[in-house]
Amino acid sequence: MIGAATTADAPATGPAATLPAWYPGWARDLADAYFSRTTCVFVLHGNVHDLIRAPAGGQDSYQSLPEFLSTQAFGSWDLVLGYDVSRGLRMLAGSDPERLRAMAQTLTARWGEPASWPRDPEKVLLMLEALIERTLLDDPANRKSIAVIFEYGQYLVPAGDLASLAQGSAARLVRFLSWAQNPHIKRVNIAFCLTADRVAEVNDRLVQNPYVTAIEVPLPDRDERRAFIDAAARGGQLAKATDFSSDQLADMSNGLSLVNLNVVLAQAVHADRRLDAQRFRQLKKTMIER
């Protein structure tokens, strides 16, 4: 979890000692980059639509990337917002109703009721710009920590040379670059995360900017796949529906995301056809081709 700095102008100390042992490597990279105070804009790319392990209550639970960021990486922050061009701007508080109410109280006082918030990206970025400027002027004791997660970032700042960028795309690119380079933002607890499955679809001028950190979210390794299989096998149905042990399934599922692996395991449990080697190879091939 990325905690808030104790003072507004002092760099936070390294987070390595405070992160739980199960934290994924890419999330540790994000925390290290954030605590270095060299950047506040992150581009997360690769396996961004997968499930992420987040143990709770002694058992494994799995979350989407936006949920993991809002409840784990920025779980102690005051305001965590999500945005995509389809759903617009929304508050992200996981399953914590008190945290959601606190966010709503703060943002409703500044922007009005959430139902009235715009969806247009230019208007949303202008609202966020005003919020950031106001936050920077607030007394440090009352200053809110703010994280904004932009899903499908390739549609906000698409790849292309300057001549091909539409006016709106160019303005959004400049806005993100200005946030990344702003030394005042980097001194306080404000962070922006853009997610995209293909980094090549995000504008190079953003991804390759020295003030922006691009982090790949990889496919799950064998240990992660084994943990997911163990969690799926708790009810006992999986053992009855397959010819394989958990170790064998973990080995055979190399190259699959947890979402794809979940589809394979669910079909094994609910289909009339038992999951043998031929059936597994067929399902795996279909998942990878997709």
Residue 121: which residues within 8 A CB-CB, separation 6 or more?
Answer: 83, 85, 156, 168, 172
Judged by DSSP in three states, 239 sits in: helix
pLDDT at 121: 95
Contacts of 95 (CB under 8 A, 6+ apart): none
Compute the distance between CA of residue 141 and CA of residue 6 in angstroms, rounded to an integer: 10
Alpha-carbon distance 212 to 194, whole Å? 11
Q: How is residue 188 annotated by DSSP?
A: S
Q: Which of 98, 54, 76 is nearest to 147 (CA)?
A: 76
Give the side-chain half-sphere CA count within 13 A for 157.
Answer: 25
Query: Could you report the per-residue pLDDT of 240-288, keeping only the tens digit for each?
Result: 788 888 899 999 999 999 999 998 888 877 776 778 888 888 888 888 8
Q: Place 9 in a pLDDT band, splitting at 50, 70 and 90.
A: very low
How many whole angstroms separate alpha carbon 15 and alpha carbon 44? 19
- For 108, half-sphere exposure in the C-beta direction (CA atoms, 13 angstrom radius) is 9
pLDDT (mean) for 47-72: 92
**Banded model confidence at residue 5, pLDDT cuts 50, 70, 90:** very low
What is the predicted pLDDT for the residue at 11?
39
Neighbouring-strand partners of residue 275: 242
Alpha-carbon gap, residue 132 to 126, rounded angstroms: 10
Helix and strand tally (H, E) in the chain? 12, 8
H or E element that contains 90: strand 88-91
Please choose, from the candidates 190, 125, 118, the residue with its C-alpha nearest in 3D space to the C-alpha of residue 156: 125
Give the separation between CA 290 and CA 288, rounded to whole angstroms.
5
CA-wise closest residue to 218 among 3, 44, 40: 44
Higher pLDDT, 18 or 201: 201
Q: Give Rg (Cα) of the chain.
A: 21
pLDDT digits (tens, 9 = 90+) for 193-231: 999 999 999 999 999 999 999 999 999 999 999 999 988
**CA 26 to centroid of chain Cα atoms:** 11
Task: Tell whether the model's pLDDT for residue 164 goes beyond 80.
Answer: no
Closest C-alpha among 51, 74, 71 to residue 63: 51
Residue 106 has pLDDT above 90, yes or no: yes
Packing angle of the helix pair 258-270, 277-289 (nearest 10 deg): 140
The gap between the terminal CA atoms of the chain, to the nearest Å, is: 33
Average pLDDT across the chain, whole number: 89
Q: Provide the token pair at 160.
A: 């292309």
Least confident segment among 56-65, 73-82, 122-131, 147-156: 56-65
User: Do 121 and 156 touch, CB atoms closer than 8 A?
Assistant: yes
Comparing CA positions, the residue from 177, 154, 179, 152 lying closest to residue 88 is: 152
